[in-house]
Amino acid sequence: MGKLINGDDGMPAEDEVGIWAKEKHDYLRRYLDISRGTRKKWLGPRKAGATFIDLFCGPGRARVKETGEWIDGSAIAAWKISQEGGASFSDIYVADIDDARRTATVQRLRQLGAPVRELTGSAVDAAAAVAKAVNPYGLHFAFIDPFSLGTLDFRIIQSLAPLKHIDMLIHLSKMDLQRNLGINLASEESAFDSFAPGWREKINPTSSQQEIRRLVVEYWRNLVSGLGIWPSTDMKLITGKGNQHLYWLLLAAKNDLAHKFWEVAVDTGQGKLF
């Protein structure tokens, strides 16, 4: 996490995020807009509701390093697009281990009239808490946007996957996977252990680095599928300056229609892992 500065609205904001953050939030908004017709079916009197869950919400506002412009954080962007589409989320659950960042997002959402619910503690703890708090018959969408591969703890997905109607948009760090592969292979306890528990028994460490990276991701995908929620084959690659590979966005969902929505949202074309 970077430093906090005063935002253009006077509240704490993230300083100098990469311009790729705009692209990431564009895909989030596109998916939520495309799926608004389905969401509407869950909204209204005596309906189970539709919730948005953001476990790494940040402060809710950021300044783009390359342009100096101000952009909304993910939870703010999600609430706004749900309102614009006439299918406003019935609850917004936000979490961040950093109290100042989480509090800023909560305040911004309250100013917008959003039905925000604050979750304290780590993303792992927040995921377990929200799985118990939401209506088990509702429609739920979780945005899982960690700042590293190690913080994409598999227990987060384990907690949310049992919900009957749950879609997850997941940030999977390709840069972290590439840059820190040697460290993860050499360490007795590594980021891979929380990301893909049991990987050591399944992957040959003498394979080429590219093959190991592929196998780790494939093993993780199989772990997720084993929970009854399937990762999309369409993985949107987000790149930085000079076409530097940063991370993939992928959808994990139980419903075929959700995967079709994601295919439309990303326009396909970048589905290969390596």
Quote the CA–CA distance of 32 and 274 in Å, as a whole number: 27
Give this prediction's pTM: 0.93
Write the pLDDT tens digit of every residue in 116-145.
999 999 999 999 999 999 999 999 999 999
pLDDT, one tens digit per residue, over 246-268 is 999 999 999 999 999 999 999 74
| Closest C-alpha to 140, from 52, 15, 248 | 52
pLDDT of residue 272: 40
Please tell me the predicted confidence (pLDDT) of residue 268: 45
Output DSSP code: residue 144. Answer: E
Question: pLDDT tens digits, residue range 10-34?
Answer: 999 999 899 999 999 999 999 999 9
What is the per-residue pLDDT for 271?
41
Residues 6+ apart with CB under 8 A from 29: 77, 78, 81
pLDDT digits (tens, 9 = 90+) for 173-195: 888 877 767 776 767 677 788 99
- At residue 181, the pLDDT reads 72
How far apart CA 148 and CA 28 sit, in angstroms, is 19
Average pLDDT over residues 153-176: 95
Cα 56 to Cα 97: distance, rounded to the nearest angstrom: 8
Residue environment code for 37-67, b if the CB has 16+ CB neighbours within 10 A, otherwise e = ebbeebbeeeebbbbbbbbbbbbbbbbbeee
Question: pLDDT tens across 52-98, in order?
Answer: 999 999 999 999 998 999 999 999 999 999 999 999 999 999 999 99
DSSP of 49-61, one letter per residue? Answer: -EEEEESS-TTSE
Once rounded to an integer, what is the mean pLDDT over residues 222-232? Answer: 97
